[in-house]
Each structure stands twice: as C-alpha cells, then as structure tokens.
C-alpha cells in the first residue's frame, strides 16, 4: 500500500432541501453513474476518479449530468448513493470502492472498511483513521455551525482515498459539503484546504488555519500539562465572562462537570500534538471549544475565526462572489463527462438526455 498524506480539497455550500429523488430518476442515475465511472477508471485509472470526486465543481457537474438539481443539498447524498449502488459488484474489477453514506450508514464506514480490507488483503487501519479524522476535523477542529450527517469514503485497491461528507445548518437552511483527497503531502490540522465552493459564510472556530498554529500548540499543552481540576476551575470562571461579539463561541453549552472526565483522559494519555489530541476517543467539539476558550482568554493565544470559504474558493461563484466562475475549469469538467458519455454504452434515450443537460450547462 502506498503512503498517502491527507489534504482537504474543498467545501461546497448548498441550500438545504429535504426529500429524495424519485425512483425513476434514481434508477437512471445509478445506471449512468456506473457507466461514467467505468469509462473514467478504464481511461484514466481509479485514482483519477478519486481526484474528480474530491473536486467540488466536478462533483457538482457530475450531479447535473445525472439529472439532479444543481443547487440542492440533496445532490450530495443522492449522487453518492447512486455511485455506491452503481459500482456494487464491480468494485474488484474497477479497483474502486465506496463505503459509508447518510445518517446511520455513515457510522458503519469503519466496519465496511474492515470488511473490504480482509477481502483485499489491504490494511484497513490507515483508511479507518482517515475516515475518522476527516470527520473529526470538519466537526470539531472547524466549528462552523454545520452538523455532519453524511460521510462517504472512496478508495482504491492500493489504498488511495477521498472523502465527501456533508453537514447541515438548520438556522440558515444551508448544507455544507466537505471534500478530502488523500494524495498530496499535507496534514489534517494545518491548512488542509485547496478549494472551497461556498455561498453561505460565517465566523467559525477554525483551528486548521495557518495562524491557528500557536493556538493548536497551546491547546495541546493545556490538555497535557494542566491538571483537570484546574482546567475545570478555569472553565467555571470563564462562564462568568462576557465574550466578544466577533465570533460565535459561547460558554452556555460548556458543562464543566461532563467535561472533567474527558480532560482527565487527555491528561493521562498525554497526546504529542494537536492531531493526536483531536483523534482521542471522546474529544469532540465541546472539548476543543473549551480548550480554545482557555487558550484565548487565559493565555492570550487566539485561534482563527475566519470562515474557510473566505480564502479557499478555487473556482468562483455564480454571483461573482468572491469572483466569477472559472469557466475554463468548469468546461474542462464538462468536456471530460461528455467524453465519458460518448464512450459509455448507454441507451439512445439516456444518451440524448445526458447530452441535453450538458448543452444547457454550457449556455
């Protein structure tokens, strides 16, 4: 298995839509997704399929070609579901595998990876770790108001991987999609973004920003060097403070009694760095938030509060924010899909429907 380093490749924000694709559409999406995947893997390799899925604009174009609403949050769960169903039974031939899904299915991802590991004689541990840490970063290291509810893990027989996961914010009625690719040399907790597709932004706690480096170090030191009882005392004191209005952190949901067990665990296990601290069982958003508050308000080391969408938007937005859509890259994505459709063995009706959608996207 090749050694792969993680990088997050993007985030996409989409209006939150409920419901699901009708059966007649989903059945066709499964078939077309299968044929396109077969052609891409045959022509470019399974690793290229990972790169494409981890590209926010290509993923969106893929959903459009399959006939789903271009701006709906449902494109994520429906496309991933259609792709997983479409390659079922062909995984070994393709060397391309899909685990996870929506809701309860997402929590079965580690077990699916373990099962595939046994069948493929592939060590599943690095894949399970990548699955778990990508979810941890997007739910705890970046606290942007989006609760994860969907997690798909794509991988090859050689251990390359990509993640597509999505969270929802019922207050602003948007869903945010996170893309990861385990191919380039980067790490989980320091500027893992390469692209973000976003319309809704905010002011989250962003502990993976470059300028959060001192905060990550201070948080780790607090968790490993300061006794749990003194940390709890600091938190109780902080609950009496009025926090500045520049970010969304509050002390209202910091229940110091319930946090004490987690803080004791971090103190006893002595994680070496922030990534290992974040990876500890039981360390979640509230623990990280509590340690971040202590870092900022007691020790004067502030983390970043810039939304990743403000600096990592790779291809522009339809309303010109932060700049117009990069049409060249968008057209390249469509061209690749057009080639795949031409070569795929599709029925005449489905071919014409797909061509029609491509033509409408070009206008």
SS3 string, 285-352, reads: HHHHHHHHHHHHHCCCCCCECCCHHHCCCCCCECCCCCCECCHHHHHHHHHHHHHHHHHCCCCHHHHH
Pick 81 or 253 by higher pLDDT.
Answer: 81
CA 134 to chain centre: 6
Cα 255 from Cα 179, distance rounded (Å): 32
Residue 28 has pLDDT above 60, yes or no: yes
Residue 332 has pLDDT above 50, yes or no: yes
Q: In sequence order, what are the beta bridge partners of 7? A: 181
Query: H/E/C letters for each residue in 92-138?
Result: HHHCEEEEEEEHHHHHHHHHHHHHHHHHHCCCCHHHHHHHHHHHHHH
**Top-confidence range, 14-23, 91-100, 353-362:** 91-100
Pick 121 or 65 by higher pLDDT.
Answer: 121
Tokens of 143: 């606290």
> Could you tell me what percent of the chain has a pLDDT over 70?
68
pTM here?
0.77
pLDDT at 162: 94
pLDDT at 157: 96
Tokens of 84: 């997983």
Lowest mean pLDDT among 88-102, 132-146, 164-178, 246-260: 246-260
Report the candidate in 337, 342, 344 with the shortest Cα–Cα distance to residue 31: 344
pLDDT at 69: 55
Rounded to whole angstroms, what are the CA distances from 268 to 17, 99, 226?
44, 34, 11
Report the candidate in 309, 89, 48 with the shortest Cα–Cα distance to residue 193: 309
The residue-averaged pLDDT of 248-259 equals 58
Q: What's phi and psi for 19, nearest 5 deg? A: 95, -175
The mean pLDDT value of the chain amounts to 78
Scan for tokens 């990548």, then name that residue.
Answer: 130
């Amino acid at each position: 298995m090749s050694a792969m380093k993680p990088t997050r490749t993007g985030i996409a924000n989409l209006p939150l839509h409920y419901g699901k694709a009708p059966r007649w559409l989903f059945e066709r999406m499964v078939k077309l997704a299968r044929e396109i995947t077969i052609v891409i893997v045959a022509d470019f390799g399974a690793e290229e399929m990972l790169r494409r899925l981890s590209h926010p604009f290509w993923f969106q174009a893929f959903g459009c070609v399959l006939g789903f609403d271009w701006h709906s949050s449902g494109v994520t769960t429906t496309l991933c579901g259609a792709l997983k169903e479409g390659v079922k039974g062909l995984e070994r031939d393709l060397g391309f595998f899909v685990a996870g899904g929506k809701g309860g299915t997402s929590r079965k991802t580690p077990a699916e990876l373990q099962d595939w590991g046994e069948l493929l004689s592939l060590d599943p541990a690095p894949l399970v770790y990548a699955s778990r840490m990508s979810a941890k970063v997007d739910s705890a290291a970046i606290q942007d108001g989006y609760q994860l509810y969907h997690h798909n893990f794509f991988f090859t027989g050689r251990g390359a991987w990509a993640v597509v996961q999505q969270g929802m914010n019922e207050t602003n009625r948007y869903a945010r999609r996170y893309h990861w690719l385990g191919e380039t040399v980067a790490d989980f907790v320091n500027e893992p973004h390469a692209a973000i597709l976003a319309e809704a932004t905010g002011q989250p706690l962003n502990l993976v920003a470059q300028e959060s480096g001192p905060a990550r170090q201070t948080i780790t030191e607090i968790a490993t060097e300061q006794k749990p009882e003194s940390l709890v005392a600091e938190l109780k004191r902080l609950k009496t403070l009025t926090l500045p209005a520049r970010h969304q952190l509050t002390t209202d949901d910091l229940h110091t009694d319930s946090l004490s067990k987690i803080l004791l665990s971090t103190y006893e296990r002595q994680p070496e760095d922030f990534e290992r601290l974040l990876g500890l069982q039981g360390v979640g958003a509230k623990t990280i938030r509590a340690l971040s508050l202590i870092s900022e308000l007691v020790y004067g080391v502030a983390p970043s509060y810039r939304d990743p969408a403000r600096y990592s938007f790779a291809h522009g937005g339809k309303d010109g924010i932060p700049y117009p859509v990069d049409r060249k890259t968008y057209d390249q994505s469509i061209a690749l899909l057009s080639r795949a459709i031409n070569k795929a063995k599709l029925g005449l009706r489905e071919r014409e429907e797909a061509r029609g959608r491509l033509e409408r996207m070009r206008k």
